[in-house]
Amino acid sequence: MKTHPSTSRTLVIVALALGTVFAGCKPETHGELGEAFDKVKGLVGTWELQAFTQQDLNSPVKETRDLSMFYLDGIVTPLQLTFNEDLTYDIAIEMGKNYFGEGGTWSFDDDLYPTYLELMTDGDSLVYNLGGMVREFDQSFNIEYRRDCNGTPTNIYTFEFNRLN
């Protein structure tokens, strides 16, 4: 069955008109989002390691391995990082490799829209990717330490922390 060309045009015009009417019926957004959270205050406090994973970027499977047992044995106190309001930090570690230095100062790459956490020790500057931004009431916090070999990414270590205070 063949349709007359003017009928097809009419259907197209009606469809466009209906689309315009429905698009115009969206409710308008009212209100404000409020003040932005202070990212520095969100990180201040003591954080205890909950989990530690490694992703091997050279593996064809790109699997993530849970290596928490290198830090968590159920007996000794897990790794703890304390971030202070004066932008200093302290570390308490009894087992596992120390990827955080012996303490020093800390900052974000951008206080309003941070992507990286930077730890400055006496002899080194360490940079970690933020797994998400932490607000003052959030109870968990993730960072990633990315290792390279001659400029080629090889591993991603993910540290998952829970807030103690």
Q: Is residue 113 part of a domain?
A: yes
Tell me, what amino acid is at 126? L
DSSP-derived 3-state class of residue 7: helix
Question: Which domain range does residue 97 map to?
Answer: 39-163
Number of domains in the chain: 1
> What is the torsion angle, in degrees rounded to the nearest 10, for the CA atoms of residue 124, residue 52, residue 48 and residue 102?
-20
List, for residues 128-161, the tens digit of each pLDDT value: 999 888 889 999 999 999 988 888 888 999 999 9
Taking the whole predicted model, whether its pTM rises above 0.85 is answered as no
**Per-residue pLDDT at 104:** 95
pLDDT at 76 over 80: yes
Residue 151 lies in a domain: yes
